[in-house]
Amino acid sequence: MQTAVAAARLSLAILLLSFPSFGQVKATGPSLEDTFKWMDQTYNGGRRGLFQQWTRDGKLYVEYLEDFTYTQCSISHTVKELPDSGTAKDIWTQSNVEVFNLRDIDPTTVKVVPFDRIVGTDCLDPDEVKRNKLSCDGQAEVRFSTRNEALKINYHSVTIFPGIPENKPDHKSDQTGTQSSAAFSMYDAAYAKRFAKAFTHAVELCGGTRSDF
């Protein structure tokens, strides 16, 4: 009888140890801590979160600088439009902050989208790339969506309209809400592929799973 009880206790102890803390799951490869450390050092420390778009006559159209912070599986992603952007004269995105948990992300939706430096030109259409002679080795976005497209990404956006006097209510727009997709922007398309791989790995470590359909 004692042998059976001891065996049962041992089985329970093994079962409890098999459940990782903070909602993380076991996976091969680097730990979540090491994965986030690499992402932080290369993206934030390397200031790779710089994204620029230019007009066809060589004028700077828009310029963003991004970074992120993390706590366990929760990420806060901040986008700030630099005031020297051409669009900032009329509409200035002072900041846009997105907060989400990696367990809510569908790892199969993570993808890299290269961009040419000319405004409004991504490199998804091979015919357009060839026809317009786009350069797709520079900037890129790492896009992703939530599982089942659930509205699990919280955002807070502050937009300034410089042409409207500061004492007018329409001078500043302050909005909060939820969305199902987001993206990290960066100036290095080759690095974007590595970042996407690390981000997907972190999602899987935090328990993110593919959508039902």
In terms of phi and psi (left: phi > 0; alpha: psi -120 to 50; beta: otherwise), the region of 83 is alpha
Residue 20's pLDDT is what?
A: 47
Residue 151's pLDDT is what?
A: 98
Say which amino acid occupies 10: L
pLDDT digits (tens, 9 = 90+) for 92-104: 888 999 999 999 9
Query: What average pLDDT does range 29-40 have in this prediction?
Result: 97
pLDDT digits (tens, 9 = 90+) for 17-26: 444 444 555 5
Q: Is the pLDDT of residue 169 over 50?
A: yes
Query: What average pLDDT does range 182-209 have in this prediction?
Result: 96
Residue of 132, 104, 101, 100 whose CA lies nearest to 119: 132
Say which amino acid occupies 62: V
Q: Are strands 111-115 and 139-145 parallel, antiparallel or unpaired?
A: antiparallel
Using a pLDDT cut of 70, give the percent of the chain over it: 87
Q: What average pLDDT is seen over the chain?
A: 87
Helix boundaries (H) for the chain: 2-17, 32-39, 126-132, 189-205
Residue 123's pLDDT is what?
A: 87
pLDDT digits (tens, 9 = 90+) for 74-121: 999 999 988 777 777 788 888 999 999 999 999 999 999 998 888 777
Residue 27's pLDDT is what?
A: 62
**How is residue 18 annotated by DSSP?**
T
Residue 12's pLDDT is what?
A: 45
pLDDT digits (tens, 9 = 90+) for 147-161: 999 999 999 999 999
Edge to edge, the sheet with strand 181-186 lists 111-115, 139-145, 181-186
Could you give the CA distance from residue 12 to residue 7 in angstroms, rounded to a whole number? 9
Residue 27 or 110, more confident = 110
Query: What average pLDDT does range 167-173 have in this prediction?
Result: 92
